[in-house]
Copies of this chain bind each other. A is one copy, B any other.
Amino acid sequence: MIETDIEQLKGIANQLRIHSITSTTTAGSGHPTSCCSSAEVMAALFFGQMRYDAKNPKYHNNDRFVLSKGHCAPILYAAWAEAGLFPVDELQKLRTLGSDLEGHPTPRLSFADVATGSLGQGLSVGVGMALAARVDKLSYNTYVLLGDGEIAEGAVWEAASLAGINKLNNLIAIVDVNRLGQSQATAFGHNIDVYRERFEAFGWRVEDVDGHDLEEIVEVLSGVGLNDQPLCILAKTFKGAGVSFLQDKDNWHGKPLSKEESIRAIAELQPSSRSAAGVPIPTPDILPAPNTAAPSTFPAINYKPGDAIATREAYGAALVRVGEADSRVVAMDGDTKNSTYAEKFFKKFPDRFTECFIAEQNLVGVATGFGARGKVPFASTFATFFSRAYDQIRVAGISQSNLKLVGSHVGVSIGEDGPSQMALEDLAMMRAVAGAVVLYPSDAVSTEKLVEQMAVNRGIHFLRTSRPKTPVIYSNDEQFPIGGAKIVKQAAGDKLTIVAAGVTLHEALKAAVTLGRDGVGVTIIDAYSIKPLGKDVIKAAAAKTGNLVLTVEDHYPEGGLGDAVAGELSGDGIRVHKLAVNGLPRSGKADELLAKYGIDAAAIVAKVRALI
């Protein structure tokens, strides 16, 4: 650390306060008092502690900063402006449609690795980044600023536990304990000992400071990297600190000052404020940049038509194969790796695998953190348990993260374990994520080809894998472009087009045999790409069957394949009928359940007969 001028930092802290107040007053909304409580911490971090290239926020060995308390965006923006990344005048565009300085940070900004604003998510991302630094042998530290209110979120403790287990001494959490939440005081107020005991119990080294005393802050920051534990700094602060009529006052959460109030506030702050222009910022170590390029090819696959292989098992094989060719690929799982088959990758590349235990929010957050560092993270668990992390996935959508989610054990076809283990709403959930790609293979070959594309293409991709073994139906050189669909069976005179995926594709093929005996021909389409949907293929096929379509899915009727097809094609006059799991399922054998809930071959036959 460059020798620190404490008086200078005090002045910068007030400058950051002034920017936070004026920009929110100009915007007419925002959280100036939440910014004021963290002003000294922000000044100390950005102007002396953190090692980074302020002109190049993406530099691979820059220290990382995650603003978990995302509503303090104005002070983050102020810090980067003062560091010279962009003119301070820009700050007055806060929250306007034309500016990337939004109400909460998003990666539209070069310095925001992830979107924040849904509280309690930043520490998981920080854990992923800190783990990525190890994989890449880089020396950057990861700093995460949290609010005291948000550490009521369980996701924070999932992250804290994994950081402790992995002894991440390159990870620093600073908690801005300003005592006041949105609607009332927090449960523990300024009882710092409660927080100390919690973080210590979760394996952290804990320091507490007066969060407005820069000497104390600088002192504890000088201990970053000591011993082998992650470091938590508990900063006792006051909301609205620095302004007499705001400090520690109720009912100031999320409210801008009026013009007149802001003038009074600035009058208090300005005499001791100073610009950070010219303040030297420590530079990062020069270390080799990790590979960030995708491979041009992958090793070939070699399946035989008719072989019975569950798509979850093919996923495990694919991940190893893709991981061999692509050093960016890392994987993680939530203590289900023997069921999702991520275990195959773990055994082959233990250093590129993170066991996240039974903590799916953190699983997704850690993966997001890896993705933000140029890795290609594949996170797996039972598909239905991703519902645990839906908020993290949603926010990864806002971040447009490079995140690969693989969910196994979908639908009633898992059988005896019963409904708590069945993913029946995952397609609805994942389709609604901004920009997400949703894939649902039916055999081993298509699984392998889709995993290749997941690795190469940027963005959120969800792969839905099944528990039962299904026969290989494609040849090894078949291609499965994302956004496509595959015509598996089609003949002149077909009466209806069936659109299916996963286990129901195989049920549809069986149904076609029965129907064929009666002279009823049906076209069958494998909708392996649920989003984007292979709309043109389906539309063209439907046109040849009188615009009559039947969708069949091992999912609830809402928001899945049927709604996707109807939602995209109904406007074109295509009549879409749906078969989906028609009740709250229970335990039983897979075949019994496919029959009972109306999605097996017999149900398809009956429905087709009723429709034609």
* Chain A contact residues, CB within 8 Å of chain B: 27-30, 70, 95-97, 99-100, 102-104, 106, 108, 115-120, 149-150, 152-158, 161, 165, 181-184, 186-187, 194, 197-198, 200-202, 333, 335-339, 343, 355, 357-362, 384-385, 387-388, 390-391, 394-395, 397-398, 400, 415-421, 424-425, 428-429, 431-435, 531, 556-560, 562-564, 566-567, 569-578, 584, 586-589, 592-593, 596
Contact = CB atoms under 8 A, between A and B. Distances in A.
* Closest 9 A/B residue pairs (Cβ): A154-B154, A117-B420, A97-B588, A559-B559, A425-B432, A428-B432, A570-B570, A197-B201, A102-B587
How many copies of the chain does the oligomer comprise? Answer: 2
Contact of A416 (B29, B100, B400): B29
A405 to B, nearest CB: 14
A340 to B, nearest CB: 9
Nearest to A151: B358
Given A104-B421, A157-B157, A563-B559, A358 B577 contact: no
B154 A362 contact: yes
Residue among A118, A149, A186 with the highest chain B CB neighbour number at 10 A: A118
21 contacts: A29-B417, A30-B416, A95-B587, A106-B418, A116-B420, A120-B358, A152-B358, A157-B157, A182-B339, A183-B333, A183-B355, A360-B391, A387-B394, A398-B584, A425-B429, A428-B432, A434-B584, A558-B567, A566-B566, A569-B570, A571-B577
A584 B572 CA distance: 26
A424 B153 CA distance: 22
A361 B158 CA distance: 13
A358 B388 contact: no
Contact of A576 (B343, B435, B571): B571
Given A156-B154, A358-B120, A432-B558, A417 B104 contact: yes
Given A103-B418, A183-B335, A184-B335, 10 more contacts: A95-B588, A102-B418, A103-B420, A104-B420, A118-B421, A149-B358, A197-B201, A387-B391, A431-B558, A571-B576
A398 B587 CA distance: 12
Contacts of A194: 201
A385 B117 CA distance: 11
Contacts of A435: 584
A153 B158 contact: yes
Contact of A429 (B390, B400, B574): B390
A575 B571 contact: yes
B417 A182 contact: no
A588 B103 CA distance: 9
Residue among A28, A337, A576 with the highest chain B CB neighbour number at 10 A: A576
Given A120-B358, A395-B420, A575-B571, A149 B335 contact: yes
A549 B542 CA distance: 21
Nearest to A29: B416
Given A183-B333, A335-B149, A570-B574, A586 B97 contact: yes
A158 B149 contact: no
B429 A104 contact: no
B559 A570 contact: no
A179 to B, nearest CB: 13
Given A27-B416, A202-B198, A434-B584, A387 B385 contact: no
Nearest to A186: B357
Contacts of A153: 154, 158, 358-360, 388
Residue among A556, A566, A596 with the highest chain B CB neighbour number at 10 A: A566
Contacts of A589: 97
Nearest to A343: B183
Contacts of A574: 570
Contacts of A415: 29
A567 B156 CA distance: 39
B398 A419 contact: yes
Contacts of A186: 357
Nearest to A166: B187
A328 to B, nearest CB: 24
A305 to B, nearest CB: 30
A338 B183 contact: yes
A341 to B, nearest CB: 11
Contact of A335 (B156, B181, B197, B202): B181
A337 to B, nearest CB: 5
B394 A97 contact: no
Residue among A106, A424, A570 with the highest chain B CB neighbour number at 10 A: A570
A363 to B, nearest CB: 10
Residue among A202, A394, A420 with the highest chain B CB neighbour number at 10 A: A420
Contact of A154 (B103, B157, B181): B157
A455 to B, nearest CB: 23
A395 to B, nearest CB: 6
Contacts of A155: 154
A420 B433 contact: no
Nearest to A559: B559
Contacts of A119: 358
B559 A531 contact: no
Nearest to A156: B154
A586 B108 contact: yes
A108 B557 CA distance: 22
B432 A152 contact: no
A100 B333 CA distance: 32
A321 to B, nearest CB: 21
Contacts of A152: 158, 161, 335, 357-359
Contact of A556 (B30, B434, B592): B434
